[in-house]
Chain A
Amino acid sequence: SQQGEEDPQALSIQEGENATMNCSYKTSINNLQWYRQNSGRGLVHLILIRSNEREKHSGRLRVTLDTSKKSSSLLITASRAADTASYFCATRETSGSRLTFGEGTQLTVNP
């Protein structure tokens, strides 16, 4: 079952611009997490936002969560070429004990 769905599937921007990725999900969640994956590598955890939180910041990352719309967004400000990667959202349902990952957004930051 696919819980999280990212939008857009691919995003190409210039260095210095902001990048926004969106995630939608279907059921009630305990938390939502964002991960990054460089090509051919494992995933790296970026940020976790709980269902009772609306916004969270970590460095150049800003995550928002709207539980009424069942959606989240990840904003990367002042992007760099090194931010080029795939970004995945993952949700933990309130009734479950596992994470479900979305299909990911492929971000390309052009120098």
Chain B
Amino acid sequence: DGGITQSPKYLFRKEGQNVTLSCEQNLNHDAMYWYRQDPGQGLRLIYYSQIVNDFQKGDIAEGYSVSREKKESFPLTVTSAQKNPTAFYLCASSPGTGGFPSSYEQYFGPGTRLTVT
């Protein structure tokens, strides 16, 4: 999990509350990503950012928001509009110099398990 931290590891919230998941990297990577993983399934892309102050929607952006004010940080807010927010959330980063960031390997954080009741 080197170089990327996610906090907290477990998060519990009541339905109707917004919650922000933290993701910080010290790898000097340009690109950062947020994925959602449901039990026994693969990763689905929520949002990604290839450069500071810019980000794009992934496949399942509805009910989520992000910001990229600093290169090191890419927080994800799960809003009350997300109908089924309970899941395992993974943040990743990759270098972006010289081409598309996805040409390179991605480095993942340890994940945050969010439970909404």
Contacts and interface: CB of A to CB of B under 8 A. Distances in A.
Contact of A97 (B1, B43, B50): B50
A71 interface: no
Given A40-B111, A42-B1, A42-B90, A98 B43 contact: no
A41 B42 contact: no
B97 interface: no
Contact of A33 (B45, B105, B111): B105
Given A97-B50, A104-B42, A42 B105 contact: no
Interface residues of B, number: 30
A96 interface: yes
Contacts, number: 66
A2 B111 contact: no
Given A42-B90, A42-B110, A97-B101, A88 B45 contact: no
B28 interface: no
A101 B43 contact: yes
A64 to B, nearest CB: 19
B48 A98 contact: yes
Nearest to A50: B103
Interface string B26-53: 0000000101000011111100101000
A102 B109 contact: no
A61 interface: no
Contacts of A104: 41-42
Interface of A: 1-2, 30-31, 33, 35, 40-45, 48, 88, 90, 92, 96-104, 106
